[in-house]
């Protein structure tokens, strides 16, 4: 009887891919990006620090080859991780690699899409389903309609044109649309985000997508005049996706509102639950709040922006 019980216990132990109480295994994926405008080596360091300080996550950083590079040695073991955080903007991947990642997600994997990761892979249909909406890299109306909020309601707009735009980096207010979602529950209904790129005219299938928060894109700052999706979740097969368009640079990532939604969104994508409490010092509807210790990880880009931070309206 005892032996039987032990056998049952052991088989349960080895059947469960991730032990209860153990840290959540995160694969932080980065690489490529044209030019120098997305410094992923630097932003990955900040994203990793933000996850690790919760004590909930064990983070492994994996840099993908450039799309023109050699993929023969690039074989991430997706199933060893509960969630993949993507800080990768790359135009394309080999088909076998795409198929493995699709299998991982459809089977119950987790994905967190940070900022320019939604520029990646315009020609990969499944990836565009996972992210819901994306921009740039020659996307047009063929990628899907634009999605935004008008009069408090979500609409999709099939008007032809390009995908992806933003004005100058200014502070803007993020407004919760699904305040009871675990990622937002207990956080303020609206908060000011630090100077950052406010993405607009993003396009995509928008299938099984829930917009958790929006921000108004001001025409005075080359904006659309619409309330643009800022935080989203997408159901992909049994997999869960959390997508944040925020975080162009280290300063954007240092916003207390970004950090909390990123930490919570990563836990949710991995487990479907959020156990983290709202942090102290959260930005209000009128005032930005950022972590100087994290912003300081990029002294070059954060110094000037820091001075601009109090200029919110």
Where on the chain is the footprint of Zn ion (CB under 5 A)?
Answer: 197, 248
Read off the tokens for 241.
Answer: 């996706």
Which position has the token pair 């995509």? 204
Cα–Cα nearest to 199, from 263, 252, 268, 256: 252
Q: Residue 197 or 298: which CB sits closer to Zn ion?
A: 197
Residue 115: CB minimum distance to Zn ion, A: 6
Q: Which of 131, 73, 113 is nearest to 97 (CA)?
A: 73
Shortest distance (Å) from residue 33 CB to Zn ion: 9
User: Based on CB atoms, which residue is closest to Zn ion, 118 or 267?
Assistant: 118
The residue among 135 and 182 lying less far from Zn ion, judged by its C-beta, is: 135
Residue with Cβ nearer Zn ion (118 or 197): 197
Q: How far is the CB of 272 from Zn ion (least distance, A)?
A: 29
Comparing CB distances to Zn ion, the nearer of 197 and 267 is 197
Please state the closest distance from residue 253 (CB atom) to Zn ion, in A: 11
Q: Minimum CB separation from Zn ion for residue 164, in Å?
A: 10
Q: Which two tokens stand for residue 133?
A: 């909406």
Q: Which residue is nearest to Zn ion (CB)?
A: 248
Indicate the residue among 163 and 176 with the shorter CB distance to Zn ion: 163
Q: How far is the CB of 78 from Zn ion (least distance, A)?
A: 26
């Amino acid at each position: 009887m005892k032996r039987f019980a032990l056998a049952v216990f052991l088989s349960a132990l080895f059947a469960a891919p991730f032990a209860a109480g153990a840290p959540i295994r995160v694969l932080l994926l980065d690489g490529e990006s044209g030019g120098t405008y997305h410094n992923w080596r630097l932003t990955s360091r900040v994203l990793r620090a933000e996850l690790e300080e919760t004590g909930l996550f064990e983070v492994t950083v994996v840099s993908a080859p450039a799309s023109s590079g050699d993929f023969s040695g690039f074989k991430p073991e997706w199933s060893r991780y509960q969630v993949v955080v993507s800080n990768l903007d790359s135009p394309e991947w080999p088909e076998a690699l795409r198929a493995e990642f699709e299998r991982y997600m459809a089977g119950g994997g987790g994905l967190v899409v940070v900022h320019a990761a939604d520029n990646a892979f315009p020609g990969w249909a499944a990836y565009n389903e996972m992210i819901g909406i994306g921009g740039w890299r020659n996307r047009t109306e063929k990628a899907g309609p634009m999605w935004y909020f008008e009069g408090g309601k979500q609409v999709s707009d099939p008007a032809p044109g390009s995908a992806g735009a933003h004005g100058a980096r200014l502070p803007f207010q993020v407004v919760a649309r699904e305040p009871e979602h675990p990622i937002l529950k207990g956080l303020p209904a609206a908060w000011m985000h630090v100077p950052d790129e406010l993405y607009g005219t993003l396009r995509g299938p928008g299938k099984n997508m829930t917009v958790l928060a929006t921000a108004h894109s001001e025409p005075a700052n080359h904006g659309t005049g619409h309330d643009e999706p800022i935080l989203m979740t997408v159901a992909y097969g049994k997999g869960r996706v959390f997508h944040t368009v925020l975080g162009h640079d280290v300063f954007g990532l240092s916003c207390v509102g970004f950090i909390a939604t990123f930490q919570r969104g990563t836990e949710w994508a991995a487990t479907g639950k959020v156990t983290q409490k709202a942090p102290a010092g959260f930005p209000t509807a009128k005032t930005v709040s950022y972590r100087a210790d994290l912003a300081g990880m990029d002294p070059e880009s954060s110094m000037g922006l820091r001075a601009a931070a109090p200029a919110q309206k």
